[in-house]
Amino acid sequence: MIKVAKHLLYFSLIYFTLSVAIITKTVQAKTLVIASDEWCPYVCKDDTLPGFLVEIVTEIAANNAIKVKFYLIPLARALDLAKKGEVDLLLALTAQHITDFNLQSSQMAFGGLYNDFYVRSAEKWRFTTIDDLDAKLKSNAILGIINGYQYGSKISQLLSENVNHVFRASGNSPLLKQLEMLKMGRLDIVLDSRFTVQYQLSKLLTESAPVKSPSSSTIVYAGTEGGFTPLFVGFSPLLSEAQVQIFNQGLITLRKTGRLKKILLKYGVTDWQ
């Protein structure tokens, strides 16, 4: 009986090892399709600085011998493709995105955001409550947001009640489009995260930007609604739990080894945890 038990244990260990190897090879064999719209410094249209989320996910994949291919796609379309299983990973999603589109979620937060408002420097309006924003929109102001983004229940309700005073930007670079429209007076308020707006404005300030590009001197911060909202990586429902766990564990490893800090430093961002 003891010999039989030993043989069974030996066989079980071999079977377990082979199973893990098979799962790993299956994960490695498939090229994973990653998608997002441009949302610097999270995701950037820049070969040198592609965005800290792009660098994080790409490095995790490389450390696990996984091939990836990245596409810049408008978020609303990317969400639909992920739901259908045509995109494997989506970057910078809220928990609401994950639920609404029946995606799998990373256990770890991959960054985060705030609901921040920006106006032209000559504008006296500032956000303190939802009622302030509601009153401003009812006085014919136009608010710029990004199509497919989630801003929380309070703002979502207000948006649904003021559809004629909301502009939903789309395309691969919606934030830059909105900042240009804000500067030109075609929008009165822009809602986005301070990390993306400030990064975009500081970058434009140090570059020889085109004439029509916004400058930091004409756009100012006007207040914040709510607190910090964590962002997650969304995974296609067709991916296995083993594939999802690779990216969860990968972020833990990057943080533990100090690689995460080095990546974030290039974009002027601190660790959100």
pLDDT tens for the chain, 273 residues long, are: 333 333 433 334 333 333 334 344 444 557 999 999 888 999 999 999 999 999 999 999 999 999 999 999 998 899 999 988 899 999 999 999 999 999 999 999 999 999 999 999 999 999 999 999 999 999 999 999 999 888 989 999 999 999 999 999 988 888 988 999 999 999 999 999 998 998 888 776 665 444 444 444 589 999 999 999 999 999 999 999 999 999 999 999 999 999 999 999 999 888 998
Q: Which two tokens stand for residue 129?
A: 């409550």
* pTM score: 0.75
Q: Of 3.50.50.60, 3.40.190.10, 2.40.160.50, 3.90.1410.10, which CATH number belongs to 31-111+231-265? A: 3.40.190.10
Q: Are domains 31-111+231-265 and 114-229 of this chain identical in fold?
A: yes
What are the structure tokens assigned to 190, written together?
């822009």
DSSP3 helix / strand / coil % (the chain, rounded to 5):
45, 20, 35
Query: Of the candidates 206, 144, 149, which has an alpha carbon nearest to the alpha carbon of residue 180?
Result: 144
Give me the residue label for tokens 């639920």: 99
CATH superfamily placement of domain 114-229: Periplasmic binding protein-like II (3.40.190.10)
The span from the CA of 16 to the CA of 224, in Å, is 51
For 206, the token pair is 């140090």
> Angle at the Cα of 200 (from 198 to 203), degrees rounded to 5?
105
Q: Where do the structural domains in the chain lie, given as residue ranges?
A: 31-111+231-265, 114-229
Backbone angles phi, psi at 127, to 5 degrees: -85, 125
